[in-house]
A and B are shown apart, each in its own frame.
Chain A
Amino acid sequence: MSKTKTTGTTHYEILFIVPNKFTDDEAKTVVGQVEKMLTDGGGKITGREYWGKKRLAYEIKHNAFGYYGLFEFDLEGANLAKIDSNLRLFANVLRHQIVVKKTKSEEDIARENKIRAKIDSKKAEADKKQEIKNKIPSTSTNVSKTKENKDSRVDLKDLDEKLEGILNADDLI
């Protein structure tokens, strides 16, 4: 396995911050400039996002706010270093980060769907179990109550019979 990748394109994602000294419209032109740098470097842009003005978690070069831009692009790995160094020298971008983005293959999507189905079925099972649990205590009490009632009836019948037996007996008279 060689460490350098020579052939084939990789899917990358770049997130960058445009400093607060620009207005929103100016920031958008800077985003356009970055896009041009990427395409000039041999990149093929597949997705773009503009988050607008956001507060930075900490100040960068006395900037408390920044405009965030994001591009997804395909590029040959060998061309990446040049784009990276160009962006580093580009004064209108405060900070940038290029990350390899994993592309989802059909297998991955199928696997994800399987997992999702599993999770859904598990949830459904759990719900069913809970329903049953909620039902059990009420039914069990009913059963015991009915049993008790039956027992008392039986006792009464027995008692009646015994009483009759006693009353009909000759000893009493």
Chain B
Amino acid sequence: MTNKKTKECYFCVNNLEVDYKDTRNLRRFVNFYMKILPSARTGVCAWHQRKLATAIKRARIMALLGATHK
């Protein structure tokens, strides 16, 4: 719980838009197995978490991000 308080939404704080082509930023919200990380762990707000999930899925379709690790 103490962890949750200190974290802030990465996209809100930096005034960024979630973009499926921006793989460098998407990478930090995906674990080693390329699974989407929960917002409780990353601190992303609910509004951006929804955008983030679709963006990661779009990136997977275009082979910009993997769906599994190799």
Asked if B65 and A57 sit within 8 Å, CB to CB, the answer is yes
Residue A156 CB within 8 A of the other chain: no
Give 27 pairs: A residue, B residue, CB < 8 Å, sorted on A. A15-B21, A15-B62, A17-B62, A17-B63, A56-B63, A57-B60, A57-B63, A57-B64, A57-B65, A57-B66, A58-B63, A58-B66, A58-B67, A60-B63, A66-B63, A70-B21, A95-B61, A95-B62, A95-B63, A97-B58, A97-B61, A97-B62, A99-B20, A99-B58, A115-B15, A119-B14, A119-B15
Further pairs besides A15-B21, A66-B63: 17, Cβ < 8 Å = A15-B62, A17-B62, A56-B63, A57-B60, A57-B64, A57-B65, A57-B66, A57-B67, A58-B63, A95-B61, A95-B62, A95-B63, A97-B58, A97-B62, A99-B58, A112-B15, A119-B14
Within 8 A of B (CB), among A86-107: 95, 97, 99
Residue A116 CB within 8 A of the other chain: yes
Within 8 A of A (CB), among B39-70: 58, 60-67
Residue B1 CB within 8 A of the other chain: no
Interface size on B, residues (CB 8 A): 14
Question: How long is the Cα–Cα vector from A60 to B63 in the complex, in angstroms?
Answer: 8
Q: Is the interface of A mostly helix, strand, loop or mixed?
A: strand
Task: Closest B residue to A49 by CB, please name it.
Answer: B21
Task: Closest B residue to A15 by CB, please name it.
Answer: B62
Within the complex, the shortest CB–CB distance from A87 to chain B, in Å, comes to 14
Task: Closest A residue to B34 by CB, please name it.
Answer: A57
B61: chain A residues at CB < 8 Å are 95, 97
Question: How long is the Cα–Cα vector from A58 to B62 in the complex, in angstroms?
Answer: 10
Within the complex, the shortest CB–CB distance from A137 to chain B, in Å, comes to 24
